[in-house]
Chains A and B, each alone.
Chain A
């Protein structure tokens, strides 16, 4: 639509965090009344761009124009003043207050108008968003998730927002609820507001948006009308050359069939009907975006989800879910995706961290045997490629990569272990460390244990897995041998538009 004035223009914005360039000369335009999708794989720069527009992150270079006027966004209040509002995935409504109270809550520069005026204005906003059966006095806790999302949008609008950024608004919604939110968003756009829609769900992106901007590695790769794109073409733009990567050579090991059997595993609100068979020596990737339930599958198997239900057996013996100690006794060990708060004992020595779960094996009559524990710690250090001289250092003094090695090393070389569960095994680890950790995982599998890891990173999934399980919205969308799937296929399954197609 040439000639239409631009609501927002981002010109050559660059932002680096230390040596990492998050945004590299990104330009991007948003027209009035447009619904514009912003897509990109993890680390592409989406959230940095959104934070820049929200005034949370200040760009190193470049400028931002709202309605043709350059603006400086150094804090959230500036952004609000020029009419930019962000609706986050995590809702910030107070359930115990009414819709009206929530919308008025924390409003900047509210003057003391009569309650009746506020009520009328809020009612008008709700009607605009299609919330005809929601009254200003309705308690937020009585609303569905979609209605809450729309109330959140209404709140942004009540502050005169003309540019709305919706950050993964549908991640927690069911399909019908999504339709409801979309109807409200379309209504808004037709009334002249501009919307930036950040999402992993490409089906929804194509359904809702008129234009799609793709970011990759901090660069703007494409900005095209949605009508000229399809899911495949977007995935290819998101991935770049990675999409061309072919199947890797496969190790030829003799798997112990049916070592781990998982049937109808469910975690309310996260995972539905997860089923999988894993053999000894096999490395299985559970691929899915954040919030797709991959992490919860592993946590359920580790006994850390008290409301998990399902049938799991390891080596033919059934394992009851819900208590970490039971899982460990059954032979399943778990490494969380958060090594700092749920993994390492940061102020304790590396040696003690390595031995934390097997003090029993280095004790004689309950007393720690120094030479036994020293020997075991040294052997584990050798295994994970860690400098033995530093075994006495506190874990917090190590680099992220070394911390992760120590954390995973704790799970290795235990006779009783038959299933290793790694959640995001290389999160926050540099490239060199990643390769080492991948080798460690391969080594663990080569000793006959089953390995299941969850990851959002395609490179890792492609490099490491024998079998790939893709998940979307809590359900498995596909299970395939690694060589039967390209990176493009995997990403397409991870970003599935509708969960229904998945069952096939």
Chain B
């Protein structure tokens, strides 16, 4: 899982001292997370009745999938050094609503149109951040408000699919797991490979690591930022489609706490908030941890407030721990 740092040109596995020192932390961190995940599952298995049943494990994956798709896409924004979008949940809901509308023109048009719309909504925000250096948090808060305003204005209440729309496949189960889980894992795999092995991915890492250097070196900073946002927007729209297919009944609230959950998944995965370090794979682990914890809390009958409290606690602890260990690593 240390693939982020796999060199583009270095002889594989060369025993360079610097490399070992650098990789040490990354490897440890990954092991630590895997250990936490394993401990949670073991603990959950014994302490929570019904946790280890197939149907429950499938439920964990399912709940990880919706947020996970958003999170793996948004990882690109964070890796590129533009923090994150605050309007992930809003755009998810909006693309879900749009999908329902577009179903009047057939499933193919609906999917294509929705993905295009999500990509475009985010690309515009990315262009603002990349071209004029606008603060990503502020841009995405503003964009979120604009989107909520427009939808609230145009369409009050719940939207259901038009009669005869054939979208059951979105909620279908294949080999015991819902369609959305395959989409999540497939997208995560593709994005992870892209980030490690394509010019686009490597340039995103470089940009996130040191923006002034990327600019001086002539990397297409605005284009890369726009593209990172566009990918995130695409993934958000994918979740929008999946949510619509799953819920059969959507409104502005359908994506609930998705914004926080997606950001939490990235942070718990351990990618650097400041960009340049981390990976899509880590976000997958983060999303699974969050989903597992949420599921266990549900099984023991914790209130919504309690669930949010625990998630907040985990995110805060991870961020503080990562910060401390990085600082330790840097001081002589």
Contacts and interface: CB of A to CB of B under 8 A. Distances in A.
A373 B21 CA distance: 23
B213 A342 contact: yes
Given A392-B14, A397-B18, A397-B21, A363 B198 contact: yes
A394 B219 contact: no
B197 A397 contact: no
Contacts of A378: 9
A5 B200 CA distance: 71
B8 to A, nearest CB: 4
A390 interface: yes
A355 B197 contact: no
Interface in A365-382: 366-368, 370, 373-378
A391 B19 CA distance: 9
A393 B17 contact: yes
A325 to B, nearest CB: 5
Q: By DSSP majority rule, is chain A's interface helix, strand, loop, or mixed? A: helix
Interface residues of B, number: 35
A56 interface: no
Interface stretch (B162-170, B204-212, B286-294): B204-212
B217 interface: yes
Nearest to B15: A389
B209 A359 contact: no
Contacts of B21: 394, 397
A325 B223 CA distance: 12
A375 B9 CA distance: 7
A391 B214 CA distance: 20
Given A341-B210, A345-B213, A376-B9, A357 B17 contact: no
A389 B17 CA distance: 10
A351 B8 contact: yes
B83 to A, nearest CB: 18
A239 to B, nearest CB: 33
B148 interface: no
B198 A374 contact: no
Nearest to B193: A367
Given A345-B276, A367-B197, A393-B17, A388 B22 contact: no
Given A344-B213, A368-B199, A392-B19, A355 B8 contact: yes
Contacts of B202: 352, 359, 368
B215 A374 contact: no
A304 interface: yes
Interface of A: 302, 304, 324-325, 327-328, 333-334, 336, 341-352, 354-357, 359-360, 362-363, 366-368, 370, 373-378, 388-394, 396-398, 410
22 contacts: A334-B216, A341-B210, A341-B212, A341-B213, A342-B212, A344-B213, A345-B209, A348-B205, A349-B10, A351-B7, A355-B9, A359-B202, A362-B9, A366-B198, A368-B8, A374-B9, A374-B10, A377-B9, A390-B16, A391-B14, A392-B14, A410-B217
Interface of B: 5, 7-11, 14-19, 21-22, 197-200, 202-203, 205-206, 209-210, 212-220, 276-277
